[in-house]
Amino acid sequence: MTTKFTSDHEWINTASIEAAVVGITPHAQDALGDVVFVELPEVGRSYAKGEVAGVVESVKAAADIYMPVNGEVVEVNEALKADPALANTDPMGAGWFFKVKVASTAEFDGLMEPPAYETLLQSL
Amino acid sequence: MPSAQPESTALLQTPLHDLHLRLGAKMVPFAGYAMPVTYLAGLMAEHRQCRDSAALFDVSHMGQLRLVGSDAAAALESLVPMDVVGLGEGKQRYAFFTNHSGGLLDDLMMVRPTAADAAAGFGDLFLVVNAGCKDADIRHLITHIGTRCTVLPMPERALLALQGPLAVVALSRLNPGVAQLTFMTGGAFTLAGAPCFVTRSGYTGEDGFEISVPATHAEALAESLLAQPEVKPAGLGARDTLRLEAGMCLYGHDIDETTSPVEAGLTWAIQKVRRPGGARAGGYPGVAAIESQLTSGAPSKRVGLIGLERAPVREGTPIVDAHGRKLGKVTSGTLAPTVNQAIAMAYLPIDHALPHHEVYAEVRGKRLPMRVSPMPFNPHRYHRA
């Protein structure tokens, strides 16, 4: 599997260290409800793991998006800005948030494998 | 809410609790009750359902009570700055309890049932008050007017709101008589075999009804309404976005014990007969403060704000001027589903409260421009006489 997860209910596709794709999980979008606004990170800026890199807001609530790894943001999803509901309708696909360039695959160590994330969801 | 229950207290359930669970509602604590915030359709779809067709809300957490006695209307006038004595049979009116400094203890709806409906047990006045305030309201009524009339809480009844342009179509199938009601009138009707009290009013800005039904018959009535093709359930989430678009105050947020009706922009609810120079002027708590503001104005005012950017501006957000000086704060705010913009209410000094005046909301370290806007944000569509 190339997709890993965080305890903040974000996913990251680890297939490429040049542009690892980050988004929120189906659980996260379900808990938020209808997403109406996203604030995405700055392209070209480097963020530390755990740093707030954006915001996702539904009608009822706002949640921070955390950087799941140390790295530089290389692209943000402009389509998501224009149509934030993509985070609800296709959270693991067209509703991605940004792509991040990391130094090495070692950055992905410590992220959750799918079974571990499943276990976390079941414990909620 | 002001009198939210302590966390250790188990949440109360409305008579529709099992139905909510069967419908897949997401339940949240609200004013001491477990209430549905959304159903499976989600907030946006439930909001649109109400604007486009008809939505059914469970508002059984709200307080229903009746006042009985020939002096009830005059007695109630000692607690609210409204014309209660002159309220015609079958007519409904918005009201609020004031405190001695002219602040608002709660806002409410009152109806004067016809003599026949009063005899059928709906009281000489039928009141609906906010869930979070109902215990305090009942104490307030009993303390101050309990010797002049009988104050009878009605915990044995549930309250449903059927709201939307097709609400009348759906409810008329159960009893065609309800179609005769016009905005802010009400009467007793049999619905699904139960003696109900129906008013043509609500909290969404749409045409619609609020239905007081015996708790024992609430689920059957809700099921027969949900069986109508126009009707789907909607939760408190959509109720909040609908009322905000309609420019209506939420007690405990947009109005409270520290806000006067003049500041809150609710002077329209004080009838002439109770204002200075009127036949029954004054005679309610806080009259000095309120009359002074009615004459000279209040230093600040509740206004509507529309965001020039899409970011939602939520309750508590500071509002500043172009120089960053604090003007006030947001009391309610959301990304409005129908008007499709960030909308909010805030109290601003009157020199900043003029329509089209530009102010700034401080959100995450940024200053987002907002414009003072007339309310409602979304036009009301009532069935007036």
* Domains in chain A, CATH or no CATH each: 3-123 (2.40.50.100)
Dump pLDDT digits (tens) for B249-285: 999 999 999 999 999 999 999 999 999 999 999 999 9
d(CA B72, CA B363): 49
* Partners of residue B58 on adjacent β-strands: B160
Spell out which residues of chain B touch residue A39, defining contact as CB-CB under 8 Å.
311, 364
Question: Smallest Cα–Cα separation from A65: which of A51, A79, A76, A75?
Answer: A51
Dump pLDDT digits (tens) for B320-376: 999 999 999 999 999 999 999 999 999 999 999 999 999 999 999 999 999 999 999
* The domain made up of B12-55+156-242 is a member of CATH 3.30.1360.120: yes
d(CA B348, CA B302): 7
What token pair was written down for B276?
A: 């200075």
The dihedral sign for the CA sequence B109, B110, B116, B117: positive
Residue B1 has a pLDDT of 35
Q: Where in chain B is the domain with CATH 3.30.1360.120?
A: 12-55+156-242
Mean pLDDT of B112-131: 97
Contacts of B270 (CB under 8 A, 6+ apart): B81, B82, B261, B290, B294
The answer, yes or no, to whether residue B225 has pLDDT greater than 90, is yes
The answer, yes or no, to whether residue B5 has pLDDT greater than 90, is no
Spell out which residues of chain B touch residue A38, defining contact as CB-CB under 8 Å.
none
d(CA B152, CA B137): 12
Residue B292 has a pLDDT of 97
Spell out which residues of chain A touch residue B44, defining contact as CB-CB under 8 Å.
34, 36, 59
What token pair was written down for B83?
A: 């014309």
The dihedral sign for the CA sequence A35, A29, B231, B202: negative
Chain B 30-49, residues with CB within 8 Å of chain A CB atoms: 37-38, 42-44
Mean of all residue pLDDT scores within chain B: 96
A107 burial level (CB within 10 Å; 0-12, 13-18, 19+): buried
Task: Tell me which chain A residue has its CA closest to the CA of residue B310.
Answer: A37
Spell out which residues of chain B touch residue A62, defining contact as CB-CB under 8 Å.
312, 314
Dump pLDDT digits (tens) for B277-311: 999 999 999 999 999 999 999 999 999 999 999 99
Residue B338, chain A, CB below 8 Å: the answer is no
Point out the residue among B237, B311, B364 whose CB comes nearest to the CB of A60.
Answer: B237
CB B12 within 8 A of CB B33: yes
Best to test chain A binding among B28, B37, B40, B43 (most A CBs inside 10 Å)? B43
Q: Which CATH superfamily is domain B299-376 in?
A: Aminomethyltransferase beta-barrel domains (2.40.30.110)
Point out the residue among A37, A39, A55 whose CB comes nearest to the CB of B335.
Answer: A37
Residue A42, chain B, CB below 8 Å: the answer is no
Residue B8 has a pLDDT of 52
Dump pLDDT digits (tens) for B69-90: 999 999 999 999 999 999 999 9
Point out the residue among A36, A39, A55 whose CB comes nearest to the CB of B335.
Answer: A36
Q: What number of other Cβ atoms are within 10 A of residue A52's Cβ?
A: 13
Residue B245 has a pLDDT of 98
Residue B216 has a pLDDT of 98
Point out the residue among A39, A55, A59 whose CB comes nearest to the CB of B335.
Answer: A59
The CA-atom distances, in angstroms, between A96 and each of A16, A62, A107, B310 are 15, 17, 20, 20
CB contact under 8 A, B312 and A33: no
What token pair was written down for B221?
A: 């009535």
Q: Where in chain B is the domain with CATH 2.40.30.110?
A: 299-376
CB contact under 8 A, A57 and B335: yes
Say if pTM beats, i.e. exceeds, 0.90. yes
Dump pLDDT digits (tens) for B35-67: 999 999 999 999 999 999 999 999 999 999 999
Residue B369 parent element (H or E): strand B366-373
pLDDT more than 90, % of chain B: 97
The answer, yes or no, to whether residue B3 has pLDDT greater than 90, is no
